[in-house]
Amino acid sequence: MEMRVGSQLTNAINNQQQDIAGISQQISQLKAMLEKFPLNEINDQQAKINGISQQLSQMKDLIAKGQKPSGGIPEDFTKVYTIPVGESPLRGAAAAKVTITGFLDVECPFSSRFHPVIAQVLEAYPGNVNYMVKHFPLSFHANAKLAAKFILAAGKQGKYWEMLDIILKDNKDLSEKRLEGMASSIKLDLTRLKADIKANDAQWEKLIQEDFDLGASVQVSGTPTYYINGRKTKARNLEAFKAEIDAILKK
């Protein structure tokens, strides 16, 4: 009976994967037809489909091992993903043994809530832990992408982390006017910042989309999502982060 159920589940997943493959092909065709138009929404959907397809494959693997998937598509806290630094600035020593990666929507209240915890972790492990951010703006946060561009522009003036910190300190209103006020408060050249955003807009759109696609490929489904040396973590307080980091540093 269990074997029959497993076979039925596998067949159902195969059918869903075939449907997803068809949808993915249609989206690729649409992208080719709409080359002259903004493709942000199409790219978002493509990334989500890629993530779902990967998760369905993981469900098939569980079934093949005789395990029953529960609670929908399962999160994998054991798999180690390759998460390249790319163009992301590093906070902390570049040669640190431990890297924390945060996939953030800077307009998300939870990204704001847990940001101070990362600062505590870095303070507790000087030289041993560094941190990088990948931007994962959610479609229902209208100003998240603009805020990410302000952060990237601040980086041009050597204040990437200062801009990130001030945004995540209070991200309830990320209108352009307030973002400009935040930039001024940390002594950024506002004229240069606005010019940089305009000049680099296409490049930064691409960079943010690459971060988003990377997140979808490593099973990010919400923000913030944190990884320690490529492994997804449930840690959300200093003690939980320390438990995982100490285990790595002892090796």
Dist CA 2 CA 51 (whole Å) = 28
**How many C-beta atoms lie closer than 10 Å to residue 13's C-beta?**
16
Residue 72: pLDDT over 60: no
Concatenated DSSP letters of 194-220:
HHHHHHTHHHHHHHHHHHHHHHHHTT-
Beta strands 129-135 and 231-233: pairing type? Answer: unpaired
76 in a structural domain: no
Same-domain pairing of 243 and 132: yes
Render pLDDT for 187-206 as a digit per residue (tens, 0 to 9).
Answer: 999 999 999 999 999 999 99
Same-domain pairing of 60 and 107: no
Domain boundaries, position 44: 2-64
**Higher pLDDT, residue 148 or 32:** 148
| 203: CATH | 3.40.30.10
Same-domain pairing of 104 and 6: no
Q: What is the mean pLDDT of residues 5-11?
A: 59
Dist CA 88 CA 227 (whole Å) = 15
Dist CA 11 CA 5 (whole Å) = 10
Q: Domains in the chain: how many in total?
A: 2
Render pLDDT for 215-247 as a digit per residue (tens, 0 to 9).
Answer: 999 999 899 999 999 999 999 999 999 999 999
From the DSSP assignment, how many helices (H) and strands (E) are in the chain?
9, 4
Same-domain pairing of 136 and 41: no
Percent of the chain surpassing pLDDT 90: 68
Dist CA 171 CA 108 (whole Å) = 8
Give the 3-state secondary structure of residue 104.
strand
Dist CA 215 CA 25 (whole Å) = 21
**Higher pLDDT, residue 42 or 236:** 236
Same-domain pairing of 111 and 215: yes
69 in a structural domain: no
Please name every residue paired with 135 in a beta bridge, in sequence order, or none if there are none. Answer: 104
Give the residue from 147, 140, 187, 191 showing the smallest Cα distance to 170: 147
Residue 1: pLDDT over 90: no
Contact 75, 232 (CB under 8 A): yes
Tokens representing 127 are 């030289």
Average pLDDT, rounded, for the chain? 86
108 in a structural domain: yes
74 in a structural domain: no
pLDDT of residue 251: 85
Tokens representing 177 are 């006017």
Q: What is the mean pLDDT of residues 85-108?
A: 97
116 in a structural domain: yes
71 in a structural domain: no
113 in a structural domain: yes
